[in-house]
Amino acid sequence: MSDFVTLEVEGGIGVIRIDRPKMNPLNAQVQRELVAAAEEATERSDVRAVILYGGERVFAAGADIKEMQTMSYTDMVDHSQALQDFTRKLAGIPKPTVAAIAGFALGAGYEVALCADFRVAKVGTKVGQPEILLGVIPGAGGTQRLARLVGPAKAKDLVFSGRFVDAEEALAMGLVDRVVEGDVLEAAKEMVAPYVTGPAYALRAAKQAIDAGLEVDLQTGLEIERMLFAGLFATKDRTTGMRSFVEDGPGKATFEGA
């Protein structure tokens, strides 16, 4: 039984909810529970898209600094692997994902958001990587995923300064993809709704090709794409999609997700 993280599934959308009052600090227990939720969302066939959510008040204000404060170097050597494992698991969910951000997404909180394919933020949200203000650097993927998202100069601006960025600037910088005034969870559901009825294995392959291709040279990336493309010819959805295109035109296929 999870105390602070839940996975709720409705209509093909799985919502991974962090709920550890007051600011959703990500202590070791929350990190372990996020791993379990990510694994469950990955395995369940009734989950076709995933939303990461912390509530309408706060997404996650960062790691639990009180827990870290007394750790020694050797303590952190042991803990740092787990610190990255939970974000690796979230980033590795092979389905479309979106982070629904309200309030604050700071430090490890924003590192969770970086694991998603898309980020939607509510007006008034603040995001950032303020670890430098504690005398450390991001340790759950922030230096790497942030630089890949917005480029090294913008990443260094945020990491070197530790400043908080409001939703509008975050949108302009590419830190979030959409800013909304209303219910951020409903906005996130609208974003992923088209994927719920899409070709599940093609979406999985597209995500894998893009994510894996970013880590290798162009020729290797093209080979990854080629193999994944060819593999989709074994799926029912490929047969359905091409038949529908030939007979009825584009965009009219009804996919099974198989």
For position 44, which CATH number holds? 3.90.226.10
pTM (predicted TM-score): 0.93
Do 212 and 165 reside in the same domain of the chain?
no
Please check whether residue 216 lies inside any domain of the structure: yes
Count structural domains, the chain.
2
In a domain, 253, yes or no: no
Residue 59 has pLDDT above 80, yes or no: yes
- Check whether residue 76 and residue 16 sit in a common domain: yes
Lowest mean pLDDT among 33-37, 77-81, 202-206, 215-219: 77-81
Q: What pLDDT does 67 receive?
A: 83
Residue 249 banded pLDDT, cuts 50, 70, 90? very high
Please check whether residues 153 and 129 belong to one and the same domain.
yes
> Please, what is the average pLDDT of the chain?
95
Residue 81 lies in a domain: yes
Q: Are residues 115 and 241 in the same domain?
A: no
213 and 124, same structural domain? no
Catalytic residues: 111, 131
Do 160 and 205 fall within a single domain? no
Residue 256 lies in a domain: no
Residue 64 within any structural domain of the chain: yes
The answer to whether residue 50 is domain-embedded is: yes
CATH number, domain at 239?
A: 1.10.12.10
Q: Do residues 157 and 238 both lie within one domain?
A: no
Query: What is the residue range of 19's domain?
Result: 5-196
- Is 80 exceeded by the pLDDT of residue 1? no
Are 32 and 148 part of one and the same domain? yes
User: What's the confidence (pLDDT) of residue 79?
Assistant: 80
In a domain, 93, yes or no: yes
Does residue 254 lie within any of the structural domains?
no
Shared domain for 52 and 169, answered yes or no, is: yes
| Three-state secondary structure of the chain | CCCCEEEEEECCEEEEEECCCCCCCECHHHHHHHHHHHHHHHHCCCCCEEEEECCCCCCECCECHHHHHCCCHHHHHHHHHHHHHHHHHHHCCCCCEEEEECCEEECHHHHHHHCCCEEEEECCCEEECHHHHHCCCCCCCHHHHHHHHHCHHHHHHHHHHCCCEEHHHHHHHCCCCEEECCCHHHHHHHHHHHHHCCCHHHHHHHHHHHHHHCCCCHHHHHHHHHHHHHHHHHCHHHHHHHHHHHHHCCCCCCCCCC
pLDDT band at 76 (very low <50, low <70, confident <90, very high): confident
pLDDT at residue number 84: 87
Residues 204, 188 share a domain: no
pLDDT tens for residues 9-36? 999 999 999 999 999 999 999 999 999 9
- Among 181, 196, 211, the domain-final residue is 196
State whether 105 and 209 are in the same domain.
Answer: no
Do both 149 and 215 map to the same domain? no
